[in-house]
A and B are shown apart, each in its own frame.
Chain A
Amino acid sequence: MQIYLPIAEVSVNAFLLLGLGGMVGVLSGMFGVGGGFLMTPLLFFIGIPPAVAVATEANQIVASSFSGVLAHLRRKTVDFRMGIVLLIGGLIGAALGVQLFNALKAMGQVDLLVRLSYVVFLGIIGGLMFIESLNAIRKTRAGAAPTRSKHTWMHNLPFKMRFRTSGLYISVIPPLVVGLLVGVLAAIMGVGGGFIMVPAMIYLLGMPTKVVVGTSLFQIIFVTAFTTLLHATTNFTVDMVLAVLLLVGGVIGAQVGTQIGTKLKAEQLRILLAIMVLAVCGKLALDLLLQPAELYSLGVGGHS
């Protein structure tokens, strides 16, 4: 069934969009990532204009994250206090990121920057997670108890705060900085930032994996809602019809994903996410390295 999208001005198959939304929703619920880093390239691929894809994707992530966070709330696996600290950093970061994005856009090559940052960040994070979770699986097989996070310099910083749900007593500075950095990257790369946030929470802040997913989703809702409003009011690129189709699939998928997530072990969950992140990274790297079939591309004219 073909459907004409009023803002994107293209006609696409409605079931294809529902399917894509569902697939990405499952991943979103399982891993606590918004799924934007997967969905945005997929939308480009089916012919949605990039500006519309990025803006609409933000709107869809709000829905799937909200659906996911409700499931986590019931299980009491959301650390609100940590979420709010991260969010404050995230909003500041997003605002800075948008400024940076516009500055780079004026210089040209913003497309390349986005792709390169995808490849670099996805590569580093995917690689680290993959090695770490392989080691963890090997250790549990060997029967050794998982080592408790060590006492690092981060524990000596001021403004300590107790995060009961996470079982942490750390300074608010690391989470604020993590939120800020993720916010900047999220604005540049046009995604919620969960795929960076989740590993950062696990490895940098030392939060338990179970809490990480819910807290990340909680924070993503607000960052992406903020982005959606920004895009809707400045660029008019949020396509409501596209968003509805994606989110109907997405919210159902997120529920299914959350169920699958609870049945898997933390290490397995992490290794799956690592493989997925590496796969997307590999695809993007190939696009940069191999000669494209069409050397030319079209952009909107007028002096931008």
Chain B
Amino acid sequence: MIRFCTIAFLAMFAALPLRAEEVVAGLSQNRISITTNFDGSEILIFGAVKREATIPEGEPLEVIITVAGPSEPVVVRKKDRRFGIWINTAAVEVDSAPSFYSVATSAPWEEVVTDVEDLRHKISVTRAIRSVGAPSEVRNSETFTEALIRIREADDLYQTNINSVDVSQQTLFSTSVQLPANLTEGDYVARFFLTRGGVVLDQHETTIFVQKVGLERFLYNLAHEQPLVYGLLSLFIAIVAGWGASAFFRYLRG
């Protein structure tokens, strides 16, 4: 019992310096409205390190900021040549992949976080994707996850921005995250990690709400709640537009 208490006490004591530095963070906006002329958005993310004592000696303070969109399962298919044509031959279902993921760091990757910490906190893009396992007949299933990342990186949906967080005086930090125009709705989670020597000292989480508003919201709701009305309305618009153009051109020709 005494031994247990000692261990517990030691553990607490050891943990104390870890909490000595805490993140205080803010966003330029925590609500993004998708309007009809939505063309992507830039969020300014900033914060400071709160500490009771002086800045510790040794390894410099590093900051990692991630922004993740809502996760969903994705099927990755691979084409192969069969009978002279390229067809989908293999498919791997990735159980959960964020629709958007951005990582910003204040220094090169090896300096900000160790692999163990990355695995624990799921910081890098590769770790943020959860793939339980591929069907046994598919070899090299990791190439499918790589392909998923490659395709989404090409669309700016997955971003890894090394050295893009500015840290000044080991206290203030800021970065900006560019959200692309093809954003989906949902709650986006921004996470902040403070690290020293690759070890996470503190982390903080905040949510960014991305929502359609106005006409976008109205049409989306109508399409899902009253599909028949929506469908008929679509047809009505089509018929009116067709008739309108015809009548207009007849008028033009006199």
A interface with B by C-beta (< 8 Å) = 1-4, 6-7, 9-11, 47, 59-60, 62-68, 70-71, 74, 108-109, 111-112, 225, 228-229, 231-234, 236, 238, 240-241, 243-244, 247-248, 251-252, 254-255, 287-292, 294-302
Contact = CB atoms under 8 A, between A and B. Distances in A.
B232 to A, nearest CB: 7
Contact of B238 (A6, A9, A63, A236): A63
Given A3-B37, A288-B86, A292-B86, A63 B242 contact: yes
Contacts of B238: 59-60, 62-63, 66, 225, 228, 243, 247
A162 to B, nearest CB: 29
Interface stretch (B9-17, B101-109, B169-177, B214-222): B214-222
Contacts of A229: 228, 231-232, 235
Contact of B184 (A9, A109, A299): A9
A153 B227 CA distance: 47
B181 A238 contact: no
A7 B234 contact: no
Interface of A is mostly: helix
Contacts of A225: 235, 238
A6 B76 contact: no
B119 interface: no
B60 interface: no
B39 A2 contact: yes
Interface stretch (B20-28, B67-75, B191-199): B67-75
16 contacts: A3-B37, A10-B182, A62-B239, A64-B242, A66-B239, A111-B88, A233-B231, A240-B219, A240-B223, A241-B215, A247-B238, A294-B151, A296-B150, A297-B77, A300-B74, A301-B72
Given A232-B234, A243-B237, A291-B86, A70 B182 contact: no
A111 B224 CA distance: 26
Given A232-B223, A298-B77, 6 more contacts: A47-B182, A64-B242, A108-B88, A291-B81, A294-B151, A299-B91
A68 B72 CA distance: 43
A241 B85 contact: no
A105 to B, nearest CB: 13
Interface centre among A4, A71, A291 (most CB of B within 10 A): A4
**What are the 8 A-B residue pairs with the smallest beta carbon separation, nearest first?**
A301-B73, A232-B231, A66-B242, A11-B181, A251-B245, A296-B147, A63-B238, A67-B242
A10 B242 contact: no
B207 to A, nearest CB: 20
Contact of A299 (B37, B40, B75, B250): B75
Interface of B: 34-40, 72-81, 84-88, 91, 93-95, 144, 147-148, 150-152, 181-185, 212, 215-217, 219-220, 223-224, 227-228, 230-235, 237-239, 241-246, 249-250
B241 A67 contact: yes
A42 to B, nearest CB: 18
Interface centre among B74, B182, B228 (most CB of A within 10 A): B182
Nearest to B239: A66
A147 B241 CA distance: 41
Contacts of A109: 87-88
Nearest to B84: A289
A23 to B, nearest CB: 15
B215 to A, nearest CB: 7
Contact of A6 (B88, B150, B215, B231): B215
Contacts of A296: 76-79, 144, 147-148, 150-151
B234 A238 contact: yes
Given A292-B86, A296-B147, A301-B93, A63 B231 contact: no
A65 B85 CA distance: 35
A295 to B, nearest CB: 5
B181 A4 contact: yes
A241 B78 contact: no
B245 A236 contact: no
Interface centre among B148, B212, B238 (most CB of A within 10 A): B238
Contacts of A292: 79, 86
Contacts of A233: 227-228, 231
